Chains A and B, each alone.
Chain A
Amino acid sequence: MKKQTLWLIVAVLALAAVPLFLHRNSGDGETFAGADGQAEEAITKINPSYTPWFKPIFEPPSGEIECALFALQAALGAGFIGYYFGLRKGRGQKAA
């Protein structure tokens, strides 16, 4: 069980790290661009006359602020999951 946990974590880390290694020399600025953005480009190629008919109401003013908001999203989720397991573990110890 503990061993399996370790292997699962190693597998996830490897899945994230191997691409970095594979593409280590292709530093053309496009490497590791978002797939969503690539889809947007593909749309423009297929149909150059298409113009989006609605604009986002709010856009993060810079990449840094976008990162901050993504970090906030992850932190909210991770914080709650940590709270959940902390609570459950604490209750388990109290009952034992």
Chain B
Amino acid sequence: MHIMEGFLPVAHAAGWWAASLPFLVAGTKSLKRIVMEKPSARLLLGAAGAFVFVLSALKLPSVTGSCSHPTGTGLGAILFGPSVMSVLGCIVLLFQALLLAHGGLTTLGANTFSMAVVGPWVAYGVYRAMRGAGASLGKAVFLAAAAGDLLTYVTTAGQLAWAFPDPQGGFVGALAKFLSIFALTQLPLALAEGFLTVLIMNALKAHSADELRALDILPAGGIEQ
């Protein structure tokens, strides 16, 4: 999902920066509030960021014969809400842009929008909807993380198709091309991200239930199945 440095026209690069900025501002406020009001959750917040670090560094082979990576933003979005992940995701993308020439500074706005805005909001929305409909924690976490992962890559495909419409097929033609590169490759990886996020949520349930109760993931005082 990394759009390479300089690979978006100036107007698009600037536009995506402008689109991401409000989320980064809101995320910074949300981050401050969590650190102030829930000091016991600070370490878990760090762990949620660390999860993004690990997963976005793992380039895995896919059935399409190409490689891509999960994002890891679903976990933090479920635990702390989607705003916070805009900031944490952007930090990871900045690290990769500066040290790995992976993504870039001009495309950081667009990449932040796909991985750190759309992904976390989709994950959060799916999680809330599933829980509201009475789904178990495991099922909700799996679907939320997988959907956030997949939609991140669909967003990237849309961003590229918008910037580079096909001479014949226009936006739709280009979208089909970019979706075939990103979305198909990402399908199995999205499942992997869903499984990994359930895995770590189970570990949190076993060893960090107090924090999950403080964040309303587990009901206060009760034991959730």
User: Which positions in A face B, CB cutoff 8 Å?
Assistant: 1, 4-5, 8-9, 11-12, 15-16, 18-20, 22-23, 26, 31-36, 38-40, 42-43, 46-47, 50, 52-60, 66, 69-71, 73-74, 76-81, 84-85, 87-89, 92
A residues within 8 A CB of B52? 77
Residue of B nearest to A54 (CB): B6
B: number of interface residues (CB 8 Å): 72
Indicate if the CB atoms of B166 and A20 lie closer than 8 Å. no
- Are the CB atoms of A34 and B5 closer together than 8 Å? no
B63 touches which of A22, A26, A81, A92 (Cβ 8 Å): A22
Which chain B residues lie closer than 8 Å to A56 at the CB level? 5, 97, 101, 104
Known A8-B198, A19-B61, A70-B57; contact A33-B6, beta-carbon cutoff 8 A: no
Question: For the complex, would chain B's binding face be called helix, strand, loop or mixed by DSSP majority?
Answer: helix
8 tightest A-B CB contacts, nearest first: A52-B6, A77-B53, A77-B54, A54-B6, A80-B50, A56-B101, A74-B57, A59-B101
**Cβ contact of A74, chosen from B7, B54, B177, B199, cutoff 8 A:** B54
